[in-house]
Structure 1
Amino acid sequence: MCTAKSSSNFSAVVLLAFCLTVGGHAVAGAAPDTENGRYTLSPTGDGVLRLDTRTGAVSTCNNSGAGWACYAVPDERAAMDAEIGRLQADIGRLQAENEKLKADLASREPTVPGKIEEPLPKSDSLKKSEPKVTEGERKIEIPLPSDRDMDRMMSFLERAWRRLIEMANRVQRDVNGKI
């Protein structure tokens, strides 16, 4: 510590103030990290959120009865970057495998002799023929239904008519029974 050597009170006070100022800075030189701006603290519902301004790490701090404890918050950005890296590696592997398979396929001979590359024309056996247009008159000819088609239609209409009559009879019996 400094001591005053002069007899004057004024010089002693100045010297004492100087010693306290210089000595205070020497003692306070190791200030906590929160004082020089490394950490930014934000209150939360159950504690404090701490941001390390140098590294960007985020921690949650809370008092659990035994003292304050801080736990690092998982960094989603790092996890996403790692996943993107894995996916890009998979894409590269799949592209190389695809090229290898294409080259392998191109080196093989055709397995079916006489195979043609263009597809065969599609024809639908159940498709009705399109109406014919004659050259001179420009009339549309519509094909008439066959006898088989007419029999199916008549059978359907007969069944529908019988069901309708049966339904009318049931309604009539129900109404007569209630009167």
Structure 2
Amino acid sequence: MRTARSSSKFLKSAVLVACLAGAEAAFAGMPDAENGRYTLSTTADGVLRLDTRTGAVSTCNNSGAGWACYAVPDERAVMDAEIGRLQADIMRMQAENERLKADLASREPTVSGKIEEPLPKADSLKPSEPKIAEGERKIEIPLPSDRDMDRMMSFLERAWRRLIEMANRVQRDINGKI
């Protein structure tokens, strides 16, 4: 009984393999467009053809001499090439940076003396302390600089012009209503 079952399973498997082989042979004998290799989509200018095996895309147009298909440039390949170029640039720049750091570290220090502590910075925006006159306790107020005077005069001139323009507008409005 065992041999009958195993031989029937073998027979079923053999028939299945034969059917699959026959179907593949039938598809191989058919033109590529009929066995599903190409997918076609219509466009305004003609047809867009996608090769489902390779992923290549072509545009097909009907010119006066007949149909002609031209491969569409693969933007992905161009982007991959640009990414590769940029990564090579990064590696080159990092190597140059390391070389420059090593070159700088090998140089002798050009400043002599103690340099560990930073020098205090003078704050130019902080108001200076009032000066005490010789012998007396007088407070001297520093005069504004020429730059400060120019800024102040510019502000006053703009304010004066706006005031005159407002007065002229009011005068025109009053004269227009009378």
TM range (shorter): 0.5 to 0.7
Q: Give, in whole Å, the separation in 2 of the partners of 1:148 and 1:122.
A: 23
Q: Could you give the per-residue CA deviations for residues 28-71 of structure 1, whole angstroms, max 9, x where no partner exists?
A: 97422101111100111110000000100000001011110111
* Sequence identity percentage: 75
SS in 2 for 1:88: helix
Matched, 1:43 2:42: yes
Matched, 1:32 2:28: no
TM-score (norm 2): 0.56
SS in 2 for 1:89: helix
- Segments of 5+ residues of structure 2 without an aligned counterpart are 1-24, 130-138
What do you get for the CA RMSD once the two structures are aligned? 3.8
Q: What is the aligned partner in structure 2 of residue 146 from structure 1?
A: 141
Letter in 2 for 1:92: M
Q: What is the aligned partner in structure 2 of residue 71 from structure 1?
A: 70
Q: What is the aligned partner in structure 1 of residue 9 from structure 2?
A: none
Give the drift of 1:124.
Answer: 2.9
Q: What is the aligned partner in structure 1 of residue 127 from structure 2?
A: 128
Q: Could you give the per-residue CA deviations for residues 94-143 of structure 1, whole angstroms, max 9, x where no partner exists?
A: 1111111111111111022226143211113562148xxxxxxxxxxxxx
Letter in 1 for 2:141: S
C-alpha distance 111-67 of structure 1, shift in aligned 2 (>3 A): same
SS in 1 for 2:120: coil
Give the drift of 1:76.
Answer: 0.8
C-alpha distance 107-62 of structure 1, shift in aligned 2 (>3 A): same
Q: Give, in whole Å, the separation in 2 of the partners of 1:45 and 1:125.
A: 69
Letter in 2 for 1:46: D
The structure that has the greater radius of gyration is 1
Give the drift of 1:146.
Answer: 2.5
Q: Give, in whole Å, the separation in 2 of the partners of 1:121 and 1:77.
A: 56
Q: What is the aligned partner in structure 2 of residue 91 from structure 1?
A: 90
Give the drift of 1:74.
Answer: 1.0
Q: Give, in whole Å, the separation in 2 of the partners of 1:73 and 1:147.
A: 76
- Segments of 5+ residues of structure 1 without an aligned counterpart are 1-25, 131-143
Q: Give, in whole Å, the separation in 2 of the partners of 1:112 and 1:29.
A: 82
Runs of 4+ in 1 over 3 A off after TM superposition: none
Q: Give, in whole Å, the separation in 2 of the partners of 1:70 and 1:34.
A: 14
May I ask how many residue pairs the two structures share in their alignment?
A: 123
